[in-house]
């Protein structure tokens, strides 16, 4: 397991859960500290265990933290602005999704976690995962197109 690659993915996972860079960094570090200090060394299960730790820490944290606001020095010039606007749109669409749908999309499409691992992390069957991903993707696309989930 490549720790640096997993560190970035766990950070991204945490960030999309708590929407605060500093807190996401803290949660990521805590995830790896708990992982390293645990006796859980079963081969092939480390990634699942990392995400399980991160998920539980994020759930605890999200109960007590508000979202980070857009920086005031935001500028709308050049390509960087287009990327920033797109990133904001994606974040807003993800925020409107139920927590579990958001988590599934982040795990699968942002962090490229294998389906079998997601099934274990979320404690659902492969059939249920396919179904939930299908509906989560549909809802996300609807939100990105400017729609409303309850239309």
Q: What's the pLDDT score for residue 143? A: 86
Task: Over range 48-75, report the average pLDDT.
Answer: 69
Q: What's the pLDDT score for residue 150? A: 56
Token duo for residue 148: 């409303």
Locate tokens 């749109």: which residue?
89
Q: What's the predicted TM-score (pTM) here?
A: 0.56
Q: What's the pLDDT score for residue 69? A: 45
The Cα 19–Cα 41 span in angstroms is 31
Locate tokens 């287009």: which residue?
82
Q: Please count the residues of the chain.
A: 151
pLDDT top residue among 14 and 90? 14
pLDDT band at 115 (very low <50, low <70, confident <90, very high): confident
pLDDT digits (tens, 9 = 90+) for 71-105: 444 444 556 677 777 777 888 888 888 888 888 88
Which ranges constitute the DSSP H helices of 19-108? 21-37, 46-62, 78-96, 99-105
pLDDT surpassing 80 at residue 111: yes
pLDDT top residue among 82 and 130? 130
Half-sphere exposure of 37 (CA within 13 A, CB side): 7
Q: What's the pLDDT score for residue 19? A: 81
CB atoms within 10 A of CB 19: 18
pLDDT band at 67 (very low <50, low <70, confident <90, very high): very low
pLDDT band at 1 (very low <50, low <70, confident <90, very high): low
The Cα 140–Cα 53 span in angstroms is 26
- Tell which residue, 99, 86, 93, has the closest CA to residue 148: 93
Rounded to the nearest 10 degrees, the angle between the axes of helix 46-62 and helix 115-122 is 50
Residue 123 region, left (φ>0) first, then alpha (ψ -120 to 50), else beta? left
């Amino acid at each position: 397991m490549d720790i640096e690659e997993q560190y970035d993915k766990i950070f991204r996972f945490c960030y999309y859960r708590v929407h605060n860079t500093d807190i996401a960094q803290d949660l990521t570090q805590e995830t790896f500290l708990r992982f390293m200090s645990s006796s859980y060394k079963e081969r092939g299960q480390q990634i699942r265990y990392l995400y399980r730790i991160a998920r539980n820490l994020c759930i605890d944290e999200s109960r007590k933290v508000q979202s980070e606001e857009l920086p005031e020095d935001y500028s709308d010039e050049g390509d960087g602005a287009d990327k920033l606007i797109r990133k904001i749109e994606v974040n807003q669409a993800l925020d409107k999704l139920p927590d579990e749908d958001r988590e599934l999309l982040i795990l699968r499409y942002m962090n490229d976690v294998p389906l079998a691992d997601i099934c274990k992390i979320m404690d659902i069957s492969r059939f249920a995962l396919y179904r939930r991903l299908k509906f989560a993707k549909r809802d996300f696309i609807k939100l990105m197109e400017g729609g409303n989930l309850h239309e």
